[in-house]
Chain A
Amino acid sequence: MIDFELEPQFVNLLNVYHASAEQLMRPISRQYDENEHEEPWPFWEASWTASHNPASVSSAQPPAVSRNLFTCLSTEELCWGDAGLFLSIPNPGLGGAAVLAAGTSEQKTRFLSRFRGGKPKWAAMAITEPGCGSDSAAITTTARRDGDDWVINGTKIFCTAGLMSVEKSEGFVVVWATVDRSAGRAGIKPFVVEHNTPGMTVVRVENKLGIRASDTAMLSLENCRVPLHHLLGSAEVTPAGGFKDVMATFDATRPIVAAMAIGVGRAALDFVRDFFQRNNIPIRYGISPRRLTAIERDFMDMEVQLKAARLLTWRAAWMLDAGMRNNLEASMAKAKAGRAVTLITQKAVELLGPLGYSRKELVEKWMRDAKINDIFEGTQQINLMIIARRIFGYSSRELN
């Protein structure tokens, strides 16, 4: 039955997430934005400890049947706190997602068990290259078989948490490389490269518009050797190979990125609402649209756009939980949320005037943070392309 009411168990859990966002993230939000590349170790230690304490909220598990939906809900709460800090939290991240999607059960155990304890750790995913981003089938990084090793050569950029995964923790990076360039997509395979593997170095860490608490690394791989069993899945070059698996991980991660956007958008919206309340500026719901002020129209539009994005996101996550294919709906959620929140946060700065533009408050930061959600994990345009292919029944060859 159609229902949009969260069960009390979820609400209680989310309240705790919200409290962490408010108490642990907001107070340090500005500091790690103004001081890019400074590492928020106290926050990381606290998150790592909390997620390994059986009594703490972040280890409290929602019903398994709602795993993806709950991830979106909690992500919204934490990104309401700070999207950059959220992305920097030590966890298996996208590297872990790739292992889960493409790895054997033996590989899952070997690569992921490190996240159960010890010191904070990160894992990252490296797909994008200087010469290719959205067109990930054009990857030029190569993996060549040499005896019992794969030898990887190439350059990767825009690797989220790359620095933490490669140099600052006992983590790993899943590097996508081609074993056969003539095979196109089918030749692209994921390789787990452990931290501090000789030949893999962090060339630089980017300076960014927003989400500055999260490191974005450029990695160089020069004759970087990894054991054969670090290839996730099968080495065989078939169309059903590893590249399809990574595309499938997007079906799960795109609703999460949409939820990140929604968290940032809600932060801006809440700020504007509070500001209006303090200044006795009414938002009169229900009256004739022809009697609304420009400010009321703007605010109501921001609010309903955010809600529309949230409903699309919930649907995409709910479908995944229900075992349904959600490729189309995940891209709809991502495309809607990415753009809606970009516009909502920009409008928030405008509505607040000097207060919005000032670095004294966080609104201008949220506008900068929001923008990434319309770019990474598939740009707006890539998601529109996916949606269009699905509604026309076209292949990527027919519409590109």
Chain B
Amino acid sequence: MISFDLNDEQKMVRETVAAFAVEQIRPAARSVDESGAIPSDLLAKACELGLVVGCLPENVGGYGDPRVAVTGAIVAEELAYGDLSCALHALAPRLLAFPVIEMGTDVQRARYLPPLAADGFVVATAAMMEPAFDFDPADMKTTAQHISGDYVINGEKCYVPLAAESKTILVYAAGSPDRGLAGVEGFVVPRDSPGLKISGREKNMGLKGLATFEVTFEKCRVAAENRLGGEQGMNFARLLSESRVAMAAMAVGVARAAFEYARDYAKERKAFGGPIATKQAIAFMLADMAIEVDAMRLLAWEAASWLDKGDDANKQSYQARNYAAAAALSVADNAVQILGGHGYIREHPVEMWLRNARAFGVVEGLAIV
């Protein structure tokens, strides 16, 4: 039955995370962007929200909260509303935790999840994206060959968040390159594995607070027991959808931040005898931005709700992600435009949001719901 109502728990989660984003993350956002580093006390406070530990099963030290994609989308939007780099950093451990919870064997859950329930921020991550302009998850160039009982991984990954600090990295690779998404497998790879090399931190236009790395694999041998889902393997298509929904939801957060800032600015800024918000040229831009922010969110929620019903939601999440990527960029661009010269100056955050928003059409696999 069609409904646009959050349940009570989702309302509570939204309220809590939104307050954290506004009070703690947003004030730090500019210095995070300029310095490239997220203060450790901010991450410690984010941990107290239970962003990772909440969804871990009770028997490994988590709270055992049910994992709901719509709730995940709400959390992602609110955190990204505060700051995209901080949001991606704080949620990065989910990139390992969620696939293991959902697709791992009992043994893998017992092995990889308890460390994530430890006190404080425990770094973990996954490597999906590859350095190609036309990277396609269904056509990965990183391969995993089954050789004498082990798997041997070869290839290059990029935009791997926190790779340098993560003890283990969940690596996606094509096991059967001709099978598209169905041929993709996941391997939990210890960072110190021979053949795994982490290059220097990537320098990007935006997401400057998030430490991302290029990771290369040269005949990197991984034991078969590290293969996500064991012999049965796993459903990568679903994980990909979950990741696209997360990125779409974060795009909503960035777009909403830019929209609200430009809206408030337009009411304050006076020209030709009154606030520029009273001019149709400006008012109509903001009206369009408001529509787009809501449209993006509904598309993300729609894909998320199908995921929650057990559907792979491949088409819906692809639509949501692509739409959100384009809309976030356009909303952020309009925000800079509305602020005019002031929007171009780093004193205001809108230029940062424009740089961050550009990422959504480029990156893949940096978050998961």
Contacts and interface: CB of A to CB of B under 8 A. Distances in A.
Interface of A: 1-7, 66, 69, 285-291, 300, 303-304, 307-309, 311-312, 314-315, 318-319, 322, 329, 332, 335-336, 381, 383-385, 387-388, 391-392, 394, 398-399
A339 to B, nearest CB: 9
Residue of A3, A287, A300 with highest tally of chain B CB at under 10 A: A3
A318 B322 contact: no
A318 B278 contact: no
Contacts of A314: 2, 4
Contacts of B70: 2
A387 B299 CA distance: 20
B323 interface: yes
Given A7-B1, A318-B2, A392-B277, A384 B299 contact: no
Interface residues of B, number: 47
Interface in B290-346: 290-291, 294-295, 298-299, 301-302, 304-306, 309, 314-315, 318-319, 322-323
Interface residues of B, dominant DSSP: helix
A2 B291 contact: no
Interface of B: 1-7, 10, 70, 133-139, 181, 263, 266-267, 277-278, 280, 283-284, 286-288, 290-291, 294-295, 298-299, 301-302, 304-306, 309, 314-315, 318-319, 322-323, 361
B181 A286 contact: yes
B287 A387 contact: yes
Given A392-B266, A399-B277, 13 more contacts: A6-B2, A286-B137, A287-B136, A287-B139, A289-B361, A291-B134, A311-B295, A311-B298, A312-B295, A315-B294, A381-B284, A388-B286, A391-B290
A3 B267 contact: no
A1 B291 contact: no
B3 to A, nearest CB: 5
A315 B5 CA distance: 10
8 contacts: A1-B6, A2-B70, A286-B137, A303-B319, A311-B299, A312-B294, A318-B4, A335-B287
Contact of B5 (A1, A7, A311): A1
A43 B305 CA distance: 40
Of B6, B283, B305, most A-chain CB atoms within 10 Å: B283
Nearest to A309: B295
Nearest to B133: A290
Contact of B136 (A288, A307, A318, A391): A288
Nearest to B284: A384
A2 B305 contact: yes
Contacts of A309: 295
A246 to B, nearest CB: 22
A4 B302 contact: yes
B167 to A, nearest CB: 31
A-B pairs with lowest CB-CB distance, top 6: A388-B283, A311-B298, A288-B136, A387-B287, A290-B134, A308-B295
B138 A287 contact: yes
A388 B284 contact: yes
Contacts of A336: 291, 295
Given A288-B136, A336-B291, A394-B277, A315 B283 contact: no
